[in-house]
Amino acid sequence: MGTVSTFTRLIALCVVLQGILLKETESSSTGGNTNNVFGKRLVQPLYCSSDQVLVEDSRYRSTQVRSKLECVGECRRDPNCRSVVFDVDLKVCHLGDAKAAEDCSNMNTAASPSLSFYQEPPPCGDKETMGPLGLCVCAPGYTGVPCQKYLHDCSDVQRNGEWQDTYTISPLQAPSPFQVNCRRVSSTRTYILDRRRTAESFTRSWQDYRDGFGSLDDDYWIGLENVHALTVDRDQELRVNIKVQNNSNYLLSYQNFRVSDEGSGYRLYFNTSALNSDNDCLEPLHGVRFSTYDHDRDGSGAVNCAERKKGGFWFSGSTCSVCNPMGVLYQPTSGRKLGVEGEATWDSLVGDVAIFKISMYLIPMLV
């Protein structure tokens, strides 16, 4: 009877232990951009019955503890520990360097009530290392689940020689790691804006433009806070790629593209490239703050440019701008601009031709 009740308690303890450790794993995996806090695998403990203990010659350290839990914790913190025996009466924890057989067949009969615990350290992957509490965590320089190389932007992917569609990147000042589309064409691109369809609305609030919106599989804006982090981390070139009806490409380039922090209004900074025309419509917006319909920073008391243009952007004065990449994509069958307020435009480049697709991506500048 005593054996049965003790066994029941051991099972309960086992469940509690797993609950505690799994909870810890979950909470650490949603952390910030610290690169090696992502706990992963939990050691599966095996409990032998209470009247059996591991043979004494495997014990290499004994310590006074208050509970079974503390005894198991001692073992988890010790990389050499494969088993513990907890003496219930004396509250002594014996650490062993031999592991118990799964059927407990290598156990001796205990002289007093005790708990035997078996721990097989998990094999950690090549991007992992053994962390505290017997958990494999990402090795320094790696982050995420599963562990990936710590990436400042998409250009780091190329250096690793690996490839997939989307990556989790962690610019140093980003509030948390975030996913982005990386495409490798002639260079490796970090896409901050991608618009190919008409379904996603870009008439959005300040919060949406700050934090980002849309889907990486569809149309998205990566968020001003992330753009800020990407552009303070490294010197970046911004490229704007515009496609019109017949799939003709237009390309614009801005060197040293940078967006300031939220406190200063996400101001726009860049150097013009020789690629662009002399009267490029982004030119007058140098140093201007970002505006949304609910956060009017265009400098005009008479006009709410973001409301008029149906999208957030850097606007200035009552004329706002003829650059309106966040406006509505009508993709008209005529291929010509409809000429309505709020239409997506980049007049200095494509004039009266309608924009069908537009993307913005970053390429680190070689300095």
Task: Tell the smallest beta-carbon distance from residue 302 to Ca ion (Å).
Answer: 7
Task: Tell the smallest beta-carbon distance from residue 304 to Ca ion (Å).
Answer: 5
Between 68 and 297, name the residue whose CB sits nearer to Ca ion.
297
Between 306 and 328, name the residue whose CB sits nearer to Ca ion.
306
Helices marked H in the chain:
2-29, 68-77, 155-160, 206-211, 224-233, 305-309, 347-350
Between 225 and 298, name the residue whose CB sits nearer to Ca ion.
298
Q: Does 293 contact Ca ion by CB under 5 A?
A: no
Between 115 and 285, name the residue whose CB sits nearer to Ca ion.
285
Cα 252 from Cα 254, distance rounded (Å): 7
Between 4 and 302, name the residue whose CB sits nearer to Ca ion.
302
Q: Does 296 contact Ca ion by CB under 5 A?
A: yes
Window 27-86: residues binding Ca ion (CB under 5 A): none
Between 35 and 292, name the residue whose CB sits nearer to Ca ion.
292
Cα 365 from Cα 231, distance rounded (Å): 11
Site string for Ca ion, 251-290 (x = CB under 5 A): ----------------------------------------
Task: Tell the smallest beta-carbon distance from residue 259 to Ca ion (Å).
Answer: 20
> How big is the site for Ca ion, counted in residues (CB under 5 A)?
4
Task: Tell the smallest beta-carbon distance from residue 288 to Ca ion (Å).
Answer: 12
Window 302-361: residues binding Ca ion (CB under 5 A): 304
Given the rule CB under 5 A, which of 53-61, 78-86, 204-212, 291-299 is the region that contacts Ca ion? 291-299
Task: Please select the residue that binds Ca ion; options are 173, 272, 300, 331, rule is CB under 5 A.
Answer: 300
Which single residue is written with the structure tokens 């967006």?
259
Q: How far is CA 45 from the centre of its chain?
A: 31
Task: Tell the smallest beta-carbon distance from residue 39 to Ca ion (Å).
Answer: 49
Q: Does 298 contact Ca ion by CB under 5 A?
A: yes
Q: Does 206 contact Ca ion by CB under 5 A?
A: no
Task: Tell the smallest beta-carbon distance from residue 257 to Ca ion (Å).
Answer: 24
Between 295 and 357, name the residue whose CB sits nearer to Ca ion.
295
DSSP 8-state symbol, 130:
E
Task: Tell the smallest beta-carbon distance from residue 258 to Ca ion (Å).
Answer: 24
Nearest Cα to Cα of residue 169 among 184, 185, 186, 189 = 189
Nearest Cα to Cα of residue 49 among 13, 4, 97, 99 = 4
Coil, helix or strand at residue 263:
helix
Work out the burial of residue 53: count CB atoms within 10 Å of its CB; fewer than 13 is exposed, 13-18 middle, 19 or more buried: buried
Cα 76 from Cα 89, distance rounded (Å): 22
Beta bridge partners of 234: none
Q: How far is CA 105 from CA 54, 108, 219, in A?
A: 10, 8, 60
Between 219 and 296, name the residue whose CB sits nearer to Ca ion.
296
Cα 41 from Cα 45, distance rounded (Å): 12
Which single residue is written with the structure tokens 């490239």?
273
Helix 2-29 vs helix 68-77: crossing angle, to nearest 10: 50
Task: Tell the smallest beta-carbon distance from residue 322 to Ca ion (Å).
Answer: 17
Q: Interface with Ca ion by CB under 5 A: which residues?
A: 296, 298, 300, 304
